[in-house]
Structure 1
Amino acid sequence: MQQIITGVLTAIVTPFDTQGELSISALKQQVKRQMKYDNGIFCNGTNGEFFVLNTQEKLAVTQACIDEAAGKVPVVAHIGEISTAETIKLGKQVAALGANAVSVITPYFVPFKQEELIYHYQKIADALTVPVFMYNIPARTGNTIQPETAKILSSHPNIVGIKDSAGSYESLRGYLDVVSDIEGFDVLNGPDSLIHQGFVDGCSACISGLANVAPEAVSHIWKYYQSGDIEKSKRAQDIVSELRKELYAVAFSPAAVKKAVNLLGENVGESRYPIIFSDSDIQEIKRIIAKFSL
């Protein structure tokens, strides 16, 4: 089976105007900015603040990304809701817009058994025609998709892979180990610190939040790796890893990313959730931007 996506997908920020309302024009500008470096789009994810978007906004974000991408780069939309039924409902609406695939976090707030997660994902995949990626982010949901669970779910013809954002190499390696011999099931790397190693070990793509800040640097990791220049890919990774370390020390990573994008002169507005940046925080982000010549 052909891979659904390869390379870099940017976990794109959701821009808001001065009134805190969705700015479609600014979003399309960010998609265009990413396409300059051949980066695909992952919308309505953590960096896209899906948790403070209503359903109509999620659909508008997806539509804008698909329209601007115009088939030149893939668009994957996150659709994870707390219930199976609401996830299916949103998934059908997103599929109708023409997304290349959807991504689904585990349900959150309530702790689930692995067999319950299997039921959840099977019901979603049964109901949708668009390809489904599972999305493991236990720090935010409280639920972990175990590697053996991913292997069981890989047998479903419409579950095409898993995005791992647990944040550790051990977690990523666990998925790669159990699905390495399964054709048509892809592992997508979430942590920006593991992009290069993920490609080396068999990930088909990465979903990068930092690509909002440094789209060229992140794209270099993939392009150099793909061309066989492993040393240059490693050096690009070192730059991205250092940027990640410094920027994420300032604030919760999606908020720090959005603030950095604004300070780069890209008007994407403020985060909707209550994040406060002190004057010293702003100066620190400006220092980081200058240091990495962003």
Structure 2
Amino acid sequence: MTVVDPPPRPFGRALCAMVTPFTAAGELDLDRAQKLASDLVAQGCDGLVLNGTTGESPTTTDAEKAALVRAVRDALGPGIPLVAGVGTADTAHTVELARQAERAGADGLLVIPPYYSRPPQAAVEAHFRRVADATGLPLALYDIPGRTGTRIEPETVLRLAGHPRIVAVKDCAYDLLGTTKVLARTSLAYYSGCEETNLPLYAIGGAGFVSTVANVAPRQMRAVLDAFDEGDTALAARLNQRTAALAELMMASGLPGTVTVKALLDAGPVREPLQPADREAVDGLRAAYEELVQEPTTEL
């Protein structure tokens, strides 16, 4: 039997894109954030991504972002990877947020291409290099053209892979061929950012996932990777299929993942322009959630 070296996993395998808890009045709830972070780690998350899309980064202030990282770091102590989302449409602002995250105790950075202005690939590359040069932290590129309007093309990723602090990609591009090409030619760690690609990407050499659904089902999401690593690919497939109904409702029902997580989790309201899920959506989410969590994560 050929032994294959595991892929690099600079931030672990099973990461949760954590929501940002708010009080009923809409203020940052750091006590609740600390409890949620501790619970997620206790239930199998290797690391957390803070201040990402699921964390409502477009509507939290710079000061709130720093306070969240500091509070979660204080709660977890050292050793649990914390990756901070710092991407904005402005390179200078992104650099400042990267430095702020480093000071607050982050272990890594998650950076999107600048959105709305739709820069060409040379400008995208220059943007990432500026941010990577600004701190001593490892950086993950976040390829999510459906939100940013700009792809990080595989050839651009290949060039950026030579930077010593660019170590990973959060992949929401739905391009397994392009991903396979980069995996074959670099040592970058690829994390699935879309639940439906968690297992397929892992099977072709990905490092793991950054999951929104893991906010409410961390053990179930991790169990898929555990089964695959143990060599039981059939069980991994079955466990993955069991998460599909909830993942579809949470991520592909027309509601943002932040909204669906907060419909299931005691994490306070969402901030406008987001609106809470209606009763029908909440009932459907709860039914799918209850069905999933009642299923065993291993075969008898």
- TM-score calculated relative to the size of structure 2: 0.90
- The verdict on how the C-alpha distance between 1:192 and 1:88 changes in structure 2, with shifts beyond 3 A counting, is same
- Cα shift at 1:32: 1.2
Deviations 1:133-155 (A, max 9, x none): 11111111111101111001111
Tell me the secondary structure at the aligned position of residue 228 of structure 1. Answer: coil
- The verdict on how the C-alpha distance between 1:88 and 1:250 changes in structure 2, with shifts beyond 3 A counting, is closer
> Which residue of structure 2 lines up, in the alignment, with residue 152 of structure 1?
159
**Matches for 1:40-119 after TM superposition, within 5 Å:** 40-119=47-126
Deviates more, 1:16-25 or 1:190-199: 190-199
In 1, the alpha carbon distance for the partners of 2:125 and 2:250 equals 36
Q: CA RMSD in A?
A: 1.7
8 Å CA contact 1:150, 1:175 repeated in 2? no
> Which residue of structure 1 lines up, in the alignment, with residue 290 of structure 2?
290
In 1, the alpha carbon distance for the partners of 2:121 and 2:254 equals 35
Equivalences, count: 285
1:5 to 11, 36, 41: 11
> Which residue of structure 1 lines up, in the alignment, with residue 259 of structure 2?
255
2:26 to 20, 24, 27: 20
In 2, the alpha carbon distance for the partners of 1:38 and 1:285 equals 22
Structure 1 runs (4+) deviating above 6 angstroms are none
2:223 to 220, 224, 228: 220
2:180 to 173, 176, 180: 176
Taking every aligned residue pair, what percent have the same amino acid on both sides?
A: 27
- Cα shift at 1:250: 5.9
> Which residue of structure 2 lines up, in the alignment, with residue 264 of structure 1?
none
In structure 1, runs of 5+ residues without a counterpart are 262-266
- Cα shift at 1:159: 0.9
In 1, the alpha carbon distance for the partners of 2:278 and 2:91 equals 40
> Which residue of structure 1 lines up, in the alignment, with residue 195 of structure 2?
192
In 1, the alpha carbon distance for the partners of 2:99 and 2:167 equals 17
- Cα shift at 1:197: 1.4
- The verdict on how the C-alpha distance between 1:172 and 1:79 changes in structure 2, with shifts beyond 3 A counting, is farther
In 1, the alpha carbon distance for the partners of 2:155 and 2:72 equals 34
> Which residue of structure 2 lines up, in the alignment, with residue 269 of structure 1?
268
- Cα shift at 1:196: 1.4
In 2, the alpha carbon distance for the partners of 1:206 and 1:141 equals 20
In 2, the alpha carbon distance for the partners of 1:246 and 1:112 equals 33
Tell me the secondary structure at the aligned position of residue 292 of structure 1. Answer: helix
Tell me the secondary structure at the aligned position of residue 10 of structure 2. Answer: coil
- Cα shift at 1:286: 2.6
Q: Which amino acid aligns with 1:150?
A: V
Deviations 1:35-62 (A, max 9, x none): 1123011111111111110001001111
Q: Which amino acid aligns with 1:136?
A: D
In 2, the alpha carbon distance for the partners of 1:78 and 1:284 equals 30
- Cα shift at 1:225: 1.9
Tell me the secondary structure at the aligned position of residue 123 of structure 1. Answer: helix
Tell me the secondary structure at the aligned position of residue 180 of structure 1. Answer: helix
In 1, the alpha carbon distance for the partners of 2:15 and 2:61 equals 23
- Cα shift at 1:226: 2.1
Deviations 1:246-266 (A, max 9, x none): 3342622221122122xxxxx
In 2, the alpha carbon distance for the partners of 1:172 and 1:129 equals 30
- TM-score calculated relative to the size of structure 1: 0.91
Q: Which amino acid aligns with 1:290?
A: E
In 1, the alpha carbon distance for the partners of 2:229 and 2:71 equals 29
In 1, the alpha carbon distance for the partners of 2:119 and 2:203 equals 32
Tell me the secondary structure at the aligned position of residue 196 of structure 2. Answer: helix
